Structure 1
Amino acid sequence: MFKIAKGRISYLAVFGAVVFMTIQVIANLNLPSLTSDIVNNGVATGNISYIWKVGIKMIAFSLLSIVSAICNVFLAARTSQKLGQNLRSDIYRKVMTASTDEYNQIETSSLITRTTNDVVQIQNVAIMMLRMMIMAPIMLIGASFLAYNKDHTLTWIFLISLPLLALFMGVMLKFAMPMFQAMQTKTDRINRIFREGLTGVRVIRAFRQDQFEQDRFEDANVDYTKNAINVNTLLALAFPVMTLIMSGTNVAIIWYGAKLIGNQAMQVGNLIAFMTYAMQILMSFMMLSMVLIFIPRAQASAKRIQQVFDLRSTMKNTTQPEELAADAKHTLAFDHVTYRYRNAEEPALTDIDFSATSGQTVAIIGGTGSGKSTLINLIPRFYDIESGKIKLDGIDISQLPMAELRDAVSLVPQKATLFTGTLRENMKYGKPDATDEEIWHALDIARARDFVEAEPVGLDLHVEQGGGNFSGGQRQRLAIARALVKQASVYVFDDSFSALDFKTDADLRAALRRDEHIQQSITVIVAQRIATVADADLILVLDNGKLVGKGTHNELQKTNAVYQEIINSQIRKGEDK
């Protein structure tokens, strides 16, 4: 836990919290002695002036304790909250900058738990450590020393009560630790099922699996609840047992203290002070024990967070990056590229070889699972290839800074994702300084202008989470427009026309071909429909990760068997091909 806190907390604030807590404990330890003096030297002798004198001291120590406690709580709370803020920021930054291979190692639901629940556990223990963890040992040692000074004959009582407390807390720790560690895993499971239910609610309803999903969530929820009830029952049991031990200690002190007073071997004030110190000793021992109970849970959370930070990228970055030439004629080349997913036995792509230049459109077609999306994910370097080279403008993309490479590529993924905010904010995602004129131009090409203009607020139209206030086709066209706003060297459309009707698809592709900037760039299209790829300058035919054909539509329909099968599956016999 200290490892993840390093560099994320203010050491000056920690030092201040320790100083103020030390002052608070010292002030509290002086109060029982002053009470003893008032009883022994003031009340017993009727010396009112002495009572006022010592009473003023007690008020001063009390005020000092209150001020120190306020300062300690302020610094402890601020430090723990800043730690949580820094941890959440660093986790999010790590996830945002992680390679796809890294990101796939930890489930999304688990990442959510680690960013929220796990961080909260660490925050809670951090404030406990800056409060109770500092207070407990200082008070335990100080109160023990002062209690011994008041009357060492009664200290034997602690030889019974403290071992009993230690034994009980040890048994509690043994049973509580596994339960605390299991809580985080069970939280992951609830988050995963709940997230699947939210994202797949339409599928669940379409297949009438509402009850099945409710039962699945109920099982996870009951499992988590049972574990939480067990661990909290165990913690609830601690307080009555501790109270019993403390009450027994008080009874023993009063019993034997009264005998000592009766034998004139002890003063009444000393007995009162000894009882107060005894409570401080037992309370500090209890606080220390409670911290030790919660530390294992925080430690488990810290390990889970550290796993995120310890993810090591498989991306090999060059020590001597190159730069793309400005206003150069763009080229994209795959030079015998082979790629294999992590821990896969067979390559997902084998010996892919093609090239394209500015103004050309490359279309990729093939059956499901043939590697189309994998191929285009290699262009912005979401994955690193196993062998071969991918070159952009003649430069190996592994030699380019990641930011510069991705600035040169504009991608429309299979799933059209829009973000909460206004339409203008979404359109500026790839080009923050884009003008309204540029946005309207991109919307026009993407055939999205009509339904945006129909809204009274135009570009200020509110976009709900995930673009829920648009149809599937509208979301896809808006995602295409967003990509077109960005001035890129390579435009990649990953099956982005699937939600469009044939006419809109044809109109959109025609508009792309007419656009001046697109004519200076390279367009890569992944599609399932022959009509979408037929007019491409180069068509790549993939089958089981291998390039089984490349050429124009006319060439492939005459010579390539796989391409002919795709045509035959989409066009009825006798129709013009």
Structure 2
Amino acid sequence: MFKLAKGRMSIWAVIGAVLFMVVQVTANLNIPSLTSDIVNNGVVNGDIDYIWRVGMKMIVFSLIGILAATGNVFLASRTSMKLGSNLRNDIYSKVINMSNDEYDQIETSSMITRTTNDVIQIQNVYMMMLRMMLMSPVMLIGASFLAYNKNHRLTLVFLVVLPIMLIFVGFLLYLAVPKFKAMQTKTDRLNRVFREGLTGVRVIRAFRRDKFEQDRFEDANLDFTRNAINVNIIMAFSFPVIQMIISGTNVAIVWFGAKLIGVQAMPVGNLISFMAYAAQILVSFMMLSMVFIMIPRAQASAKRIQEVFDLKSTLKEDEKPVQADKTPGNHTLKFSHVDYRYANAEKPVLTDIDFKSQSGQTIGIIGGTGSGKTSLVNLIPRFYDTEKGEIILDGQDIRHYGLNDLRDMISFVPQKAALFRGSLRENMKFGKADATDEEIWQALDIAQATDFVKEDPAGLDQYVEQNGDNYSGGQRQRLTIARALVKKAAVYVFDDSFSALDFKTDAVLRQALQDDEHMQQSIIVIVAERIATVADADNILVLDEGEVTGQGTHNELKDNNEIYQEIINSQIKKGDEV
């Protein structure tokens, strides 16, 4: 937990909070002694002036205590909230820059919990530490010393009370800590079930699994609720017991104190101040106990967050990366005997992938489901790293480029069309922040999206809902293609990005790509399930179980490649020509 705070909290704010806390405790410890002086020297002697003088001191100490407490709370809350803010920023930065191998190791629902709930647990505990955990022992020691000075015989009461408190707090820790730790995993489960229900709502309704999913969520919710209720019962039970111990202590102090006063072994004022110090001692002990109950939960949260930071990236960058050449034309892309396997997989998903291409050429990649098409194109922008072999772009192994430079050279359209909430213009500028409206309209025109965009009076300012839910599947695909085209890149990758388009729109869009001047100077990689989408490609790779079983033009493969022929026969009616 302290490792997470290093470098994310202001040391001066922490020191300031500690100093304010010391001033507050000092002021609070002086007030019972002044009360004792008023009773012993003022009330007993009827000295009103003395009462006023000491009373003014009490007011001054009270004001100092209030101001110091305000300063302590301000600095403690500010630095702990800053810690939470820095942790969230660092977690998000880590996640954004993780390779897909790392991202696959932690569920999305768990990642959300770690970024929100776990961070809140840590910042709350640090807030408590800068307030109560530091204040409690100082006040405990100070009040104990001053109480002993008032009457050392009465302090024998604490030899009975404190062991009882210690045993009770130990029992609380034994019961509460496991349940506090379980809260985080149960929160993960609740988030996961809820998220699956939201993202899969159409499937749930289509298969009439509403009741099943509702029961599943209710089960997770009840499990979380029972655990939370048990924790709260334990904590609720602790307060009256501790209050009873404090009240019993006061009764014992008054009982024995009255006897001491009766034999004139102790002034009345000393008894009053001793009771105040006793309250401070027991309250400090109680606050310290509460902190120790909360720490294990925060420690569990810190461990979960540290797991994110400890994920080792498989993507290594050279200390002195090669500068990428982003000028149009003259680009080459080569896969040289590339193998790749997913983390912990028994066998490679890609084996001995070998091909090359240059500017102005289109590479088509086709094959059955699970043949490794998406895995292959994910290697180009280094979403994953090869296990064996090299991917060479413009004469350099892509691992020698900086990741930012490499990905600046590549424009990627993922298999799932993803749009972001905001305006259409903001989405189109995702790959090129300074893109002009003219460039955006040109990209929309190539992507065959101009017509339906112009139908909205807002034009480029029209609102895009989360995931682009206010567009149809085909419209979303065309908009994501347009977004990729706005960015001027050396390599354009279309990962099954034409699947939601009808054959006519598919053909017109691909022809527009071929006719565009910039695209003629770039390398185009198209992954597709349909023969028609890749039929015009300069080189077509046929994948089967991660291996290239053939490559060449459509006509060459149609005559010589058995798997390609099977795909044709499964998609084309007998007697039709492709």
Q: TM-score, normalised by structure 1?
A: 0.99
CA drift of 1:485 comes to 0.2
CA drift of 1:326 comes to 4.5
Partner of 2:155, secondary structure, is: helix
Name the aligned partner's letter for residue 41 of structure 2. Answer: N
1: CA distance between counterparts of 2:577 and 2:232?
Answer: 74
Partner of 2:135: 135
Aligned partners of 2:361 and 2:522 also within 8 Å: yes
Partner of 2:153, secondary structure, is: helix
Partner of 1:525: 526
1: CA distance between counterparts of 2:153 and 2:337?
Answer: 88
2: CA distance between counterparts of 1:575 and 1:67?
Answer: 88
Partner of 1:7: 7
2: CA distance between counterparts of 1:324 and 1:86?
Answer: 33
CA drift of 1:508 comes to 0.3
Q: Which moved more, 1:203-212 or 1:438-447?
A: 203-212
Partner of 1:488: 489
Structure 1 vs Structure 2 CA RMSD = 0.7
Matches within 5 A, 1:280-429: 280-327=280-327, 328-429=329-430
Partner of 1:19: 19
2: CA distance between counterparts of 1:500 and 1:424?
Answer: 23
Partner of 1:153, secondary structure, is: coil
CA drift of 1:320 comes to 3.4
Partner of 1:229, secondary structure, is: helix
| CA deviations over 1:288-312 (Å, ceiling 9, x no partner) | 0000000000000001011111111
1: CA distance between counterparts of 2:417 and 2:576?
Answer: 33
2: CA distance between counterparts of 1:225 and 1:28?
Answer: 40
Partner of 1:479: 480
Name the aligned partner's letter for residue 444 of structure 2. Answer: L
Name the aligned partner's letter for residue 423 of structure 2. Answer: T
Aligned partners of 2:326 and 2:489 also within 8 Å: no
Matches within 5 A, 1:165-564: 165-327=165-327, 328-564=329-565
Partner of 1:149: 149
Name the aligned partner's letter for residue 325 of structure 1. Answer: D
| CA deviations over 1:404-458 (Å, ceiling 9, x no partner) | 1000000000100000110000000000000000000000000000011111110
- The runs of at least 4 aligned residues of structure 1 exceeding 6 Å deviation read none
2: CA distance between counterparts of 1:191 and 1:34?
Answer: 55
Aligned partners of 2:414 and 2:495 also within 8 Å: yes
CA drift of 1:20 comes to 0.5
2: CA distance between counterparts of 1:296 and 1:572?
Answer: 67
CA drift of 1:575 comes to 1.8
Partner of 2:321, secondary structure, is: coil
Name the aligned partner's letter for residue 317 of structure 2. Answer: N
Partner of 2:86: 86
Aligned partners of 2:326 and 2:490 also within 8 Å: no
Name the aligned partner's letter for residue 140 of structure 2. Answer: L
2: CA distance between counterparts of 1:525 and 1:539?
Answer: 9
2: CA distance between counterparts of 1:346 and 1:131?
Answer: 55
1: CA distance between counterparts of 2:316 and 2:371?
Answer: 26
CA drift of 1:164 comes to 0.3
2: CA distance between counterparts of 1:228 and 1:282?
Answer: 27
Partner of 1:516, secondary structure, is: coil
Partner of 2:47: 47
CA drift of 1:338 comes to 0.6
Aligned partners of 2:40 and 2:267 also within 8 Å: yes
Partner of 1:347, secondary structure, is: coil
CA drift of 1:319 comes to 3.0
Aligned partners of 2:194 and 2:217 also within 8 Å: yes
2: CA distance between counterparts of 1:403 and 1:135?
Answer: 48
1: CA distance between counterparts of 2:108 and 2:391?
Answer: 30
2: CA distance between counterparts of 1:485 and 1:244?
Answer: 72
| CA deviations over 1:96-129 (Å, ceiling 9, x no partner) | 1111111111111001000000000011101100
Question: Which consecutive unaligned segments of at least 5 residues does structure 2 have?
Answer: none
Name the aligned partner's letter for residue 504 of structure 1. Answer: T
2: CA distance between counterparts of 1:85 and 1:287?
Answer: 26
CA drift of 1:576 comes to 2.0
1: CA distance between counterparts of 2:170 and 2:434?
Answer: 62
CA drift of 1:175 comes to 1.4
Aligned partners of 2:326 and 2:409 also within 8 Å: no
Partner of 1:64: 64
2: CA distance between counterparts of 1:326 and 1:365?
Answer: 28
1: CA distance between counterparts of 2:371 and 2:36?
Answer: 86
Question: Which consecutive unaligned segments of at least 5 residues does structure 1 have?
Answer: none
Q: TM-score, normalised by structure 2?
A: 0.99
| CA deviations over 1:323-346 (Å, ceiling 9, x no partner) | 233535011100111111111111
2: CA distance between counterparts of 1:62 and 1:398?
Answer: 65
Aligned length: 577
